[in-house]
């Protein structure tokens, strides 16, 4: 292997010792994780869990993007928040908590609602984007910007007692290939409800696949949609392929005529 040997403080080596012990996860995987910058869009039921796992696992840099403030109704499932945080900006509270647990983590809070211009700037030099938002328009925008900038995207969704997850490589197949122009289920937790465990499960899977991608260059969910059903315990994988007519990553754009 030609990777430069990592420089870890003793405390980091101790912190990650159970991970480095794994036959599948060595010091070089830990180093790749430390070199990674992950942008999380949405610091709610999904984002609080995935951010916490990635920070604890040893991701070098996190950017947390959310314009909302903490509400009492969030505390049922958004694990980084406590009653004393009510009214404070979610991204800021989350960044402070993560920084406390992992002092060497570089973490930035962006208290803003993303649009195309801001998203292009936020994700421009990152390694991976995690989508934890709850509406199709934002998910579609994140997909477009990630594809245009060549950044992989892991998108998770949780509602009620069901969830879904997929990994979208920059070259596709992308979110639009999978869901089309009109999108899918656009219900929000605020309007339709969510069991506390659902976002935790989906965000844990999202963080797991982020670790696989960042540490091991593995993306077993590329071209597959994972569906989790909390009522039956069933988990299914649905394969999908590149849509040649996709306006984001399809052959009709970008290829010479």
Q: For 242, what's the count of Cα atoms within 13 Å in the CB-facing half-sphere?
A: 10
Query: Is residue 174 near Zn ion by the rule CB under 5 A?
Result: yes
Residue 187 Cβ vs Zn ion, minimum distance, rounded to whole Å: 23
- Assign 3-state DSSP to the chain and report helix, strand, coil percentages, each to 5: 40, 20, 45
Query: Is residue 142 near Zn ion by the rule CB under 5 A?
Result: no
Backbone dihedral angles phi then psi of residue 245, each to the nearest 5 degrees:
-95, 5
Separation of alpha carbons 147 and 214, rounded Å: 18
Beta carbons of 220 and 209 less than 8 angstroms apart: yes
From the list 44-52, 126-134, 170-178, 220-228, the region that binds Zn ion by CB under 5 A is 170-178
CA distances from 253 to 152, 177, 246 (A): 19, 13, 8
From the list 99-107, 152-160, 165-173, 210-218, the region that binds Zn ion by CB under 5 A is 165-173
Separation of alpha carbons 251 and 14, rounded Å: 48
**Which 8-state DSSP code applies to residue 222?**
B
Nearer to Zn ion, 109 or 248 (CB): 248
Near Zn ion by CB under 5 A: residue from 95, 109, 226, 246:
246
Separation of alpha carbons 45 and 73, rounded Å: 11
Query: Is residue 177 near Zn ion by the rule CB under 5 A?
Result: yes
Query: Is residue 249 near Zn ion by the rule CB under 5 A?
Result: yes
Q: In this structure, what token pair is assigned to residue 222? A: 């590329």
Separation of alpha carbons 24 and 40, rounded Å: 26
From the list 87-95, 188-196, 222-230, 247-255, the region that binds Zn ion by CB under 5 A is 247-255
Query: Is residue 210 near Zn ion by the rule CB under 5 A?
Result: no
Nearer to Zn ion, 13 or 137 (CB): 137
Near Zn ion by CB under 5 A: residue from 132, 152, 172, 199:
172
Residue 173 Cβ vs Zn ion, minimum distance, rounded to whole Å: 6
Beta carbons of 40 and 94 less than 8 angstroms apart: no
Query: Is residue 248 near Zn ion by the rule CB under 5 A?
Result: yes
Query: Is residue 195 near Zn ion by the rule CB under 5 A?
Result: no
Beta bridge partners of 110: 65
* Residue 189 annotated among the catalytic residues of the structure: yes
Separation of alpha carbons 172 and 179, rounded Å: 13
Residue 200 Cβ vs Zn ion, minimum distance, rounded to whole Å: 29
Nearer to Zn ion, 85 or 243 (CB): 243
Nearer to Zn ion, 91 or 174 (CB): 174
From the list 19-27, 126-134, 169-177, 179-187, the region that binds Zn ion by CB under 5 A is 169-177
Interacting residues with Zn ion (CB under 5 A) = 172, 174, 176-177, 246, 248-249
Catalytic residue numbers read 189
């Amino acid at each position: 292997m030609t990777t430069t040997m990592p420089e870890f403080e003793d405390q980091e080596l101790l912190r990650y010792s159970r991970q480095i012990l794994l036959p599948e996860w060595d010091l070089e995987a830990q180093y790749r994780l430390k070199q990674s910058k992950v942008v999380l869009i949405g610091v709610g039921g999904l984002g609080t869990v995935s951010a916490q796992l990635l920070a604890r696992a040893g991701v070098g840099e996190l950017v947390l993007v959310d314009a909302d403030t903490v509400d009492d109704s969030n505390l049922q499932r958004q694990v980084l928040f406590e009653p004393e945080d009510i009214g404070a900006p979610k991204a800021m509270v989350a960044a402070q908590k993560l920084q406390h647990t992992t002092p060497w983590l570089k973490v930035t809070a962006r208290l803003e609602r993303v649009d195309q211009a801001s998203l292009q700037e936020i994700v421009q030099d990152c390694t991976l984007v995690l989508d934890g938002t709850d509406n199709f328009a934002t998910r579609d925008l994140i997909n477009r910007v990630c594809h245009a900038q060549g950044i992989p995207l892991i998108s998770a969704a949780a509602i009620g007692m069901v969830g879904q997850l997929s990994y979208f490589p920059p070259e596709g197949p992308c979110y639009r290939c999978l869901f089309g122009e009109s999108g899918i289920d656009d219900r929000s937790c605020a309007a339709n409800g969510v069991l506390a465990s659902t976002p935790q499960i989906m965000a844990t899977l999202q963080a797991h696949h982020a670790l696989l991608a960042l540490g091991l260059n593995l993306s077993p969910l590329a071209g597959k949609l994972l569906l989790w059903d909390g009522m039956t315990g069933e988990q299914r994988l649905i394969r999908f392929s590149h849509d040649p007519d996709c306006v984001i990553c399809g052959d009709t754009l970008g290829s010479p005529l």
